[in-house]
Structure 1
């Protein structure tokens, strides 16, 4: 800890406000009446060098209502563009969120970004508000991803207010205080490239290197090194999404972080039963952003980013760097999946064993996460039963191959299964459980939100009395399908 105990003790170095004027628009947050704080994340508080218990809830509520900023904050809406479902949109920017300020911490800068802060010049006829449903979902998503060690933005807190917001129906208004090392997106570079602003493009690249990746400045070709860093981090991020059954559902280039963070949670979903082509966004009629399309989409997005850097880097060199994406992703994915199956060493047959496991899950309509956990629980009294989870005649044949494979490992079965339980979560951010939390919060009860957040932040260890939070939806439940509305 740094010795800081309050929000007021934070200091800010708002670099973004020193960029050219058209990089942003200064906007004062809208004041929302009757704002009530629902929860504060200890995980996110630590990112600021604070403790959740010492944060003044009244002061935080003032901040999240738009009533009073912290000293040193300079709120602004960032301008960027991007490709949305494959089509370039020049009119993008922060339409309902504001970068309040860039806090200085011992671990580097942290953006404080208020979502649901009101209209901006980039709202595109939107109202600039956020609803409780989507705010809780994003709040929990950050906790779940951090618990699974998947790079992500976090939210310090979520609050409901007295506004009524029209989406598909009338919903309670809310605000979310999001934290990220940076909110720079692929779309920032696309905007400058499309505007043919080469000097500003280089300035933005240098900003990312100097402020967030200073070690790259020592490279013989720092801009090439930065692009390689983005490609590598994005490949490793997608590998983690695929290994843990996460579907982002709106992988537009403006939703892609230059630092390889999971950014902008909308109609996302974690798998329940395994469906390789799961598409939880009902506006994605073609399945462009389906689960099995994510690796290819990320490469497409990186190619767009690479094109944006062509004024600064030779095309052939950019292509060489892009060629590293696929092997990086495959290597990272293999390591993660072997760990989930309890395999320490690498053998040629592992790829087929993993593929056949997923085929078995999909064919039997088994739950993705509970199947992995049941495979890990084979020495746990009262643990999940693999036979209950996977009801398929092919299970025993696969298990026979699996037992033969693990027999050549040096670890004992006890050590292997314990290691598997450290990477196979019991508590997962399932859509039906999130909906239970949302409905309770809408009725004024934040206790389920706090409970679920605590479980998701430490998802691997079973806790007494919490079995309901590990349950899958009924096998006959309809597929998850959500909207982008916030």
Structure 2
């Protein structure tokens, strides 16, 4: 039975429900479906403290009840949000089919974060699904989202994972689980698409004004304000996608419902980090045509943002032709914004402080050599950072030797001392990433009752730029290159 308890109330919850005050067509009020025997698997203590939560006086079973949805925190009003989306280019009605927003936690510093249970049961948007989640995918999201946070990439975060004591049926029987996700908000491009297609212009204006107030308080909510909001969303996404590319992250399912207004990475389904450098790399089992390949992510981001612009047209101007022109002008800036972010980041990865016109050719040449010889993306830059060249075929090639001479000459043309360049590289090139085989090893160990593998992995991934001795083992490549590695959405 779902209850509110004094115990939960004393845990530091300070929940508001501003989204629940919006038009009822935007969501459905619904309590989580209680589970039989919840067990706390992993809990993010630093994040909990940041949020102002305190569960130290609670037993693990009591904490598990809260994050399984068996107990509703004081002040929570659980809702499932409605949204739409272009999924692999096809537009459809969607919504939270297996998630509930408990409310918005106000932190001790006055910041606002959504608290969402993922895997909490069926909703009106489940579309035939069971509304549940399996332990493996939920732990995978926990590991990778927290690793992204360690990499200084804007992301939703993971507060807890609990098992439900129940079985979910996918391709086989799996352990049921619920993830607690923390986000600046769950407003998506698909949220605006839903309201634009199925609600009134006034409701669209209400949503846009809400987004302005919550995420862009410096922008006024007039017609110019809506265009300014679009500009800022484009700016944030150009920065985010560049950060993905710079560390070799492949999201895997960049549907418009998986692109946030806040500029955070969201929905870690069939995502992974690239080993062998190849722009055509795809990990998702369902992306058979490479729509969401590594090299295509910037193009897809621009496409998604164009869909957002279409949804906002009625607010940008009452004159459709003027609105379209204004929106196109703004969208056209994405490519330059992205490229500037990317090349700035690549200069840092090579220890370059100033700008020379030949830099892009230098960067492009290195990437071409890496692709030709199947070099590991992360470890190539790690080797450059450490100035240690072994264990990789690329470093013995004539092409790399010539490139290395050009790079050293480029660094010599800077006024900054060489040690400054290597410090810049160290802060820009992670020593480790969540290697796909390491993540799978951790998940398999948990299923077999061993949590230590996951705990150690999470620990080293929390400081990826540390270059500690403890991280050396995690920088090693798998014995068999995992170019055929496949990931799944976990639904």
1:275 alignment partner in structure 2: 278
**Does the CA-based 8 Å contact 1:8-1:71 persist in structure 2?**
no
Which of the numbers 200, 219, 230 marks the counterpart of 1:216? 219
Structure 1 position 422 matched with structure 2 position 422? no
Structure 1 position 433 matched with structure 2 position 438? yes
Q: CA RMSD in A?
A: 2.0
**Does the CA-based 8 Å contact 1:270-1:429 persist in structure 2?**
yes
Is the deviation greater in 406-415 or in 139-148? 406-415
Secondary structure of 1:9 counterpart: coil
Deviations, residues 136-184 of structure 1 (Å, cap 9, x unaligned): 1110121111111111000111222322211122211111100001001
**Does the CA-based 8 Å contact 1:6-1:50 persist in structure 2?**
no
Is the deviation greater in 414-423 or in 294-303? 414-423
Which of the numbers 76, 86, 91 marks the counterpart of 2:79? 76
Q: Following the alignment from structure 1 to structure 2, what is the Cα–Cα distance between the partners of residues 213 and 184? A: 13
Deviations, residues 65-115 of structure 1 (Å, cap 9, x unaligned): 22111101111100111111101102x000111101111122421100000
- Rate the CA distance shift 1:16–1:219 in 2: closer, same or farther, 3 A: closer
Deviations, residues 31-72 of structure 1 (Å, cap 9, x unaligned): 223322122224422441347878764432111222111101
Kindly tell me the number of residue pairs found equivalent between the two proteins. 477
Q: Following the alignment from structure 2 to structure 1, what is the Cα–Cα distance between the partners of residues 443 and 38? A: 17
Which of the numbers 49, 68, 79 marks the counterpart of 1:65? 68
Q: Following the alignment from structure 1 to structure 2, what is the Cα–Cα distance between the partners of residues 414 and 53? A: 45
Which of the numbers 147, 172, 180 marks the counterpart of 1:177? 180
1:100 alignment partner in structure 2: 102
**Does the CA-based 8 Å contact 2:189-2:256 persist in structure 1?**
yes
1:392 alignment partner in structure 2: 397
Q: Following the alignment from structure 1 to structure 2, what is the Cα–Cα distance between the partners of residues 475 and 402? A: 31
**Does the CA-based 8 Å contact 1:427-1:459 persist in structure 2?**
yes
1:356 alignment partner in structure 2: 365
Structure 1 position 202 matched with structure 2 position 211? no
Structure 1 position 8 matched with structure 2 position 11? yes
TM-score by length of 1: 0.94
Secondary structure of 1:214 counterpart: coil
Is the deviation greater in 338-347 or in 34-43? 34-43
1:316 alignment partner in structure 2: 325
Please give the residue correspondences for 1:49-60 in structure 2 after superposition, counting only pairs within 5 Å. Answer: 49-50=52-53, 57-60=60-63
- Rate the CA distance shift 1:59–1:32 in 2: closer, same or farther, 3 A: same
Which of the numbers 411, 418, 421 marks the counterpart of 1:413? 418
Q: Following the alignment from structure 2 to structure 1, what is the Cα–Cα distance between the partners of residues 191 and 482? A: 40
**Which blocks of at least 5 consecutive residues in structure 1 are unaligned?**
none
Deviations, residues 273-327 of structure 1 (Å, cap 9, x unaligned): 1111111111111111111111111111000110001111122111111121111
Which of the numbers 136, 141, 154 marks the counterpart of 1:138? 141
1:484 alignment partner in structure 2: 489
- Displacement of 1:474 in angstroms is 3.0
- Rate the CA distance shift 1:83–1:36 in 2: closer, same or farther, 3 A: same
Which of the numbers 33, 53, 70 marks the counterpart of 2:36? 33
Q: Following the alignment from structure 1 to structure 2, what is the Cα–Cα distance between the partners of residues 269 and 278? A: 10
Is the deviation greater in 187-196 or in 428-437? 187-196
**Does the CA-based 8 Å contact 2:119-2:177 persist in structure 1?**
yes
**Does the CA-based 8 Å contact 1:272-1:473 persist in structure 2?**
no
Which of the numbers 334, 337, 341 marks the counterpart of 2:343? 334
**Which blocks of at least 5 consecutive residues in structure 2 are unaligned?**
1-7, 317-322
